[in-house]
Amino acid sequence: MIDKEKLLPGVRFDEFGKANAVVWAPELDEVALLLVESEKQLPLKKGQLGYWSVQTEELKAGDIYQFVVNDKPLPDPASIWQPQGVHGPSAAYDLRNFQWTDKNLPQIALKDYIIYELHTGTFTEEGTFAAMESKLDYLVELGINAIEIMPVSQFAGARNWGYDGVLPYCVQDSYGGPEALQHLVNACHEKGLAVILDVVYNHIGPEGNVLPQYGPYFTDKYNTPWGDAINFDDAWCDGVREYFIENVLMWFRDFHIDALRMDAVHAIKDMSPVHILQEMKIRVDELAEQSGKSHYLIVEMDLNDTRFISPVSKGGYGMDGQWVDEFHHALRVSSGQQRSGYYSDFEPITSLAKSYKDAYVYDGAFSEHRKRKFGVKADGHPGEQFVVFSQNHDHVGNRMLGERTSQLVSFEMQKLLAGAVFLSPYLPMLFMGEEYSESNPFMYFVSHTDPELAEAVRKGRKREFAAFHIEGEAPDPMGIETFNSSKLQWTLLAQEPHQTMFQFYKKLIGLRKSQPALNNMDRNAIEVESNADNKTLTIRRWSAEQQIVAILNFSKSVREIWLPEQNSGWKKLIASSDSEWNGLGNVTDPPADRLVMLPPESFAIFTNS
């Protein structure tokens, strides 16, 4: 058996300071390590299964290097640091040098995550990891205990959502590079924040992709929206699989990341007996045994297929959790927003009630949008395996103008949407800025340096929105103004109604954490009654210690709602319409007859304890 320690891709340093350079290039005749400053080339020796390697004392941490392939110097395909961008040389980085202080700090269990999704470049004015650190106390005050960082793997230029990354091991130079990310993660852990990193294993970006010049990283066996699929099951796939598996392990082992959010895994094509996700999970579990830490894998996928989140022991892929877009879709149409495209499959109120109870709205029913039966039941899977939200980067940024929910619905409805998320028996996630009703858009932006590619992206966005018959001009994704206008406006926090919204979210998060019935992840401990005509929902949740009942009014009228019978009576925990939250009218503790007059676009939560 080949020693995996010797196959770690890229440049790694041993305890004696020697550099081990490893490249997987099974079909090449020669590979050399180029020491850029001295212009010296060191030939690599070809070993088993297409791995080339050399050990040297001549390459030190911080030195600039490249690999020479077919007489052409290229970045390291497993580069950790590209100080001159995707087209420049790689810089040797010793992952062991960072002085971690989080070794003995407790980890947050997945079931307790309150997630905050953010984009490094637009979260702060500076758009760096260091600047993000300055906002960690703010997130702690809000009640967040897990941040989810959109992809940071190296992409072309300085502005990108992150899904155009071309070097999966490399940390974006404009954000601060690998040491700054390690520093951020360490700082998060010291403040009690878990870190989720968004990673992309379904495609590689279009500019600066050098992988095909090294080996068969892609296959034409399958088509994807981005071209040829990553080669997880065709000839020479073993080296490709190891490359991505080791990338997963690196984030956990060397950057102390707590969880990975894996982008659009339904677009990963693999017919192997052991699916690549399953093998990743097996290897992550091996690492967890060594590290004594929990390492979570959370996937984005739209297949409503529990095979992804079922244990490996039961034939599943073993993923710890998944995003549930269908909850978002049902919530969106319940709020009165347009039912077009895939939203047309969702009924206001009734689809939302089903998602509260069953996670998936489509679990075997016929989907008119897809023109086929879709999904399976998610019975037996606990609530902590599902992440829900009222907005995220996709559902904001993929609108032509990038309007946030704050620009699409009323202040009252924004509070109701927040309440709907935190009332679920699932993991709640916020998108940066929603907690204070950020008004700036979050638009699609890139900074390709290839003029032809940049123009192709512009034309592609125009075609995309023309297909939806959307009038108006799409913002230029290459424009610096598109990027700058997508940044958070932190000055809004000192103004109204933004400060009230912030305090409202803070209260809501506090209730989620403190009320046993609200943080109970047992999906059997919930009852949902819907009234589509009145546009109302009554949700009852319970734990061994407590019962709560929540009433939600998505209509624009006052609704009379009867609370369930309760021996000890109901006491109000929160009502979004109260004057404290700049609402339309106070809700009092219900009288003996249990009748509540609930103002429009609002919710109220009551408890028996």
| Catalytic site positions | 263, 300
Tokens 């392939």 belong to which residue? 69
Sign of CA dihedral 393, 394, 396, 402: positive
In the annotated binding site, the residues are 261-266, 325-329, 393-398
Contact 528, 537 (CB under 8 A): yes
Contact 155, 165 (CB under 8 A): yes
DSSP letters, 177-221, are HHHHHHHHHHHHHHTT-EEEEEE--S---SSS--HHHHS--EEEE
CB within 8 A of 157, min separation 6: which ones?
85, 174, 446, 447, 448, 449
Q: Which residues pair with 115 in a beta bridge?
A: 146, 429
CA pair distance 258, 294, nearest whole angstrom:
7
CA pair distance 87, 209, nearest whole angstrom:
9
CA pair distance 52, 203, nearest whole angstrom:
25
Q: Which residues pair with 387 in a beta bridge?
A: 323, 427
Q: What's the Cα-to-Cα distance from 523 to each of 320, 394, 504, 518, rounded to whole Å?
A: 16, 27, 26, 11
In the annotated binding site for substrate, the residues are 261-266, 325-329, 393-398
Quote the radius of gyration of the chain (alpha carbons, Å). Answer: 25
455 C-beta neighbours (distance < 10 Å), count: 12
Contact 14, 20 (CB under 8 A): yes
Strands 321-323 and 296-299 turn out to be: parallel
Q: Which residues pair with 602 in a beta bridge?
A: 553
